Amino acid sequence: MERRWGLWKLLVTVLLVWSPRISSAHQHRDGRTNSNGGTLGNLHNVRAPYVEVSAAPSGTTKIAVQWFLTDAGISDQVTSYIISWSSEDEDGTDIVDNTSSQYTIMDLVPCTTYTITVQPTDVDSAPLGDPGPASASTATQGVSPVSSVTPTAVPGDSHLLEVSWTLSVDIGRCPGYYKVTWSGQQNGEAEILGTTSYTITNLDTWTTYSVCVDSGNDANTLWERPKCEEGTTDEDIPGSPPTDIATTSVTEDSLTVQWGPPDIPNGVIVNYKVTWSPDDGTADTTELTYTITGLLPCSSYTVSISAVTSKGNGPSGDTSDSTQPKVPGAPDDVFVAMVVDRPDSLDVTWTQAEAPGKCDITSNIVSWSPSSAGEPLDTMTLDPTESYTITGLDTWTTYLVCVRASTLGGDGPDAPCVNMTTDEDVPGPPQNLNVMGSTTPESITVKWDPPSSPNGVISYYSLTWNPDDPSDNVITNDTTYTLTDLLPCTIYTISVSAVTSKGSGDPSNITGATQSATPDAPADMTVSMVLDQSDSLDVTWTQPSSTCDITNNTISWLLSSTGELVDSETIDATESYTIIGLEPWTTYLVCVSASTLAGEGPEGPCVNQTTDEDGPPENLQIKTVTPDSIQLQWDSPGNPNGVIINYSIMWSPDNGTDDTPFTTYTLTDLQPCTVYTVDVMASTSKGYGPPADILGITQLGAPGPPTDVSVSMVEDESDSLSITWTQPDTRCDITNNTISWSLSSTGDLVDSVTVNASEGYTITGLEPWTTYLVCVSASTLGGEGPEGSCVNETTDEDVPDGSPENFIVTVIMAESMTLQWDPPAIPNGVITTYSVMWSPDNGTLDTSNTTCNITDLSPCTEYTLTISAATSKGLGPPGEILDITDPKAPPAITELNVTQREHEPELGVTWSPVTPFGNCNVTYSVRWSDVANTEEGQGATTEPEYIIPKLSLDTEYNVCVVSSSEGEDAGQVCDKETTVNSSEY
């Protein structure tokens, strides 16, 4: 990796060194190297790859790259190749010499696509053309054995085991295929693709299972190397919160909390549940301490800790504390702008850094320095803001400007610093302007050097010249330019100015003259018959425009029928001539050219004329008609008055025209349902004759698609959608529209309807909260056109179509119940809340979760529990279950009194009656024994009194009474050493 980084730094350095050489190199127009060190065609500016690259995987972590030059002419210039590759997660580069045409990229990630380029470079390490691109993916990683398996009980559900596993070899992005098996009270197996975890269900509570995981390529793998571990299902929730909860350490984004085990664990504590708010964060730990991370600075948090057995969470205990302040991040979008016409200033703006947590941004710090200096020249601390204007800077100097933000926690990092240059000025005149020797009749080449005082970046050079329109000018980035399209035999004054962003500087001027040139062809040539002179033709023309003098003209004539030259005549410059000695009623091709001292110019368009020569086409009729065409046919005029050379066809509407030499023609691209008027005229060399005309009607045609299709939800009508559209543009009458709708989720067509032509329709009878794809087409008597752009839209919500499912009581205690349920099967929208009600007590509770805990209930009481789901449209129907709370031990008795009954060996026992909790019943258990424990007994009653019979005389007894409800006992109350005296008997 260090080698690649070194090569990359070398490449960047070479490119930085080469860049100014390219910009200052003198480029000849022919793009070749001269013997005096000129540049050989600037191949570095040619933006096309000179290499063709191919790449293919070579195993799971390698890609083989090959390339060849597509232009053998640059092979001598190539000294090395830069190979670069990148994916979503990594990139790299390497350099090989010009003897290589292949390379293997190593240490790649399996199953990953890489983009690869090969860049040829020359002896100065400058790039030649664009890099050649290629793409390839590494191969799939083979099977990796499972290295460890962890089966874990699922808190709150004693019938589940959560199984996760790790692999011996990283398989990158390759999907894994796994088989999970388990044995114990139940046996089972599952095959899993692409994940390293699985939940085993329907197991026995608090039971140990052997869980094995094996890896393979697919379902046909021979599973022979599983990794196995034992796991045990869950117990019961603890009966008390953890003890001694306290915060022991606080940072800007963390709180460390410590606690002791609960006094009533109710099983093996498998972990502790840590929750905190705000943030509604949660975490599990097996330790008696936990550090909560990722918190917001400057924020108060309440942390709750509950112990967890395999049966779930016990009650929680709380502690509160606040995080410390934190430095902010960097501001965003730092923008530094030149202040126009204020070269000592720069405007700086930014988007304020996001305040961490609930901390406040207290200030911003702007610093700046000349880019060449490296260290800040000055800083300014500001109250929180998003802009500042730096003043007192040097003109046309580049500064590096940085911005950061501060909180009570300190200064944040600088945003990415920005280089910006203060304003420019207009430049001085270009130097050493001269005319080069390559002057032609239409061009002058000039050359110059940059201004000695550029006063900024030279954007371009502006050239003007006259004569010609003085507003004409060109711009160029080069220091040589060839003025073209000039007039021959003309002296030009040429001006060159340099331009910066502040405008054009003073020009440099020079004069130069174009050479003489042959003229263009004469224009406006006419050849006409000479009346009563069948052997003559009159020829006229306009001399070509030329800045050089026209010295003479040459007229030549040929037989049109054979192309044979008859004769020619060169005369002094003029604009007319009469040819004589021709044959009567014969067509000649006459040509004229002009000459200057530089020689003879080209002939103008030659003209055919006959030494003498005028009716409409006949039987004009329509042969075939379609929705967009009409085919015509006609005969030649009965009296052509010469040779028919063409027919002109004109039609309207559309104002169409065309010519044809034939007697048939098809009008195309017409509109359906339209009456067309068509004229046909024949022409000879003398012009067009009178027209023949006819009417034709195109047939009916199907229209195009409707436009502007819009579908919208109908509020409070969950079975409807409203559609509007614009009818297609057609000259045929739209007769009806067809609307169809399909389920967007499956593409299945639901229904369609055809209505009279309209631009709106409401679909009814739809399902609530369902997305449909709606399409509209239009029809004429010529048929149905295509559908317009189909639109997806969702119907409005409604109340749920049923109660929540699987409504059960998961935990019952004397004064509370934990309820659980699943969403309704048909929610008809987004479930926003669940409403839970119970009676007696007429209790209510709303929640967005699918579980809740209701408290303050009465023991030994049957409750009717109902639940309803709600969308934005209201509550759906309720579901109902019944259940009874557990009993609760009553208070212990008071005022216990034990006395001997008169004349009986019996003891009478009385006490104050006990009031039970809720609807529980109270029974009393009376127990007695002599002090020697040789005689004992017990009895039960529902009244606050009891007679103990048949006791021994002169014996001391201990008597105890215990109150209980449904098997839940209170503490016993005793009266000791009461004697049954014989004297009382």
Q: Which amino acid is at 907?
A: L
pLDDT tens digits for range 285-301? 999 999 999 888 999 99
CA nearest neighbour of 557 among 582, 535, 534, 585: 582
Three-state secondary structure string covering 781-844: CCEECCCCCCEEEECCCCCCCCCCEEEEEEEECCCCEEEEEECCCCCCCCCCEEEEEEECCCEE
CA nearest neighbour of 742 among 801, 793, 797, 798: 793
Specify the higher pLDDT residue, 468 or 183. 183
Residue with tokens 């700086």: 348
Average pLDDT over residues 840-864: 94
**For the chain, what is the mean pLDDT?**
86
Cα–Cα distances in angstroms (integers) from residue 542 to residues 213, 382, 525, 548, 847, in the given order: 100, 79, 7, 15, 98
Structure tokens belonging to residue 294: 């990722």
Residue with tokens 């109270």: 922
Gap between the Cα atoms of 132 and 47, Å rounded: 11
Query: Given a cut of 80, is residue 708 above it in pLDDT?
Result: yes
Gap between the Cα atoms of 872 and 269, Å rounded: 42
Specify the higher pLDDT residue, 415 or 159. 415
What confidence score (pLDDT) does residue 372 get? 79
DSSP assignment of 161-181 equals EEEEEEESS--TTPPPEEEEE
DSSP 2: H
Reported as a pLDDT band with limits 50, 70 and 90, residue 787 is very high
Query: Given a cut of 60, is residue 5 above it in pLDDT?
Result: no
Gap between the Cα atoms of 474 and 494, Å rounded: 11
Query: Given a cut of 60, is residue 131 above it in pLDDT?
Result: yes
pLDDT tens digits for range 907-939? 999 999 999 999 999 999 999 998 888 889 999
Contact assessment for residue 980 and residue 947, using Cβ atoms and an 8 Å cutoff: no
Reported as a pLDDT band with limits 50, 70 and 90, residue 441 is confident
CA nearest neighbour of 292 among 271, 325, 323, 259: 323
Structure tokens belonging to residue 194: 């692409």
Reported as a pLDDT band with limits 50, 70 and 90, residue 225 is confident
% residues pLDDT > 70 (the chain): 91
Query: Given a cut of 90, is residue 731 above it in pLDDT?
Result: no
Contact assessment for residue 795 and residue 718, using Cβ atoms and an 8 Å cutoff: yes
Query: What are the two backbone dihedrals, phi and then psi, of residue 71, each rounded to the nearest 5 degrees?
Result: -125, 100
What confidence score (pLDDT) does residue 219 get? 55
Gap between the Cα atoms of 948 and 935, Å rounded: 12
DSSP 311: T
Average pLDDT over residues 25-43: 32
**pTM (2 d.p.):** 0.35
Gap between the Cα atoms of 457 and 498, Å rounded: 10
Gap between the Cα atoms of 447 and 479, Å rounded: 6
Average pLDDT over residues 475-498: 90
% residues pLDDT > 90 (the chain): 55
pLDDT tens digits for range 634-676? 998 876 666 888 999 999 988 999 999 999 999 999 888 888 9
**In terms of residues, how long is the chain?**
985
Gap between the Cα atoms of 12 and 20, Å rounded: 14
Structure tokens belonging to residue 104: 């293997």
Specify the higher pLDDT residue, 290 or 512. 290
Gap between the Cα atoms of 337 and 560, Å rounded: 74
Average pLDDT over residues 938-945: 94
List, in order, residues 6 or more apart from 141 with CB less than 8 Å away: 60, 110, 111, 169, 170, 171, 172, 174
Query: Given a cut of 50, is residue 340 above it in pLDDT?
Result: yes
Positive or negative torsion for Cα 199, 203, 204, 208: negative
Gap between the Cα atoms of 816 and 43, Å rounded: 84
Query: Given a cut of 50, is residue 788 above it in pLDDT?
Result: yes
DSSP assignment of 512-572 equals EEPPP------EEEEEEE-TT-TT-EEEEEEPPP-SSPP-EEEEEEEETTT--EEEEEEEE
Average pLDDT over residues 427-456: 88
List, in order, residues 6 or more apart from 921 with CB less than 8 Å away: 860, 942, 965, 966
User: What CA dihedral angle connects 554, 560, 563 and 568, to 10 degrees?
Assistant: -20
CA nearest neighbour of 447 among 46, 22, 19, 27: 27
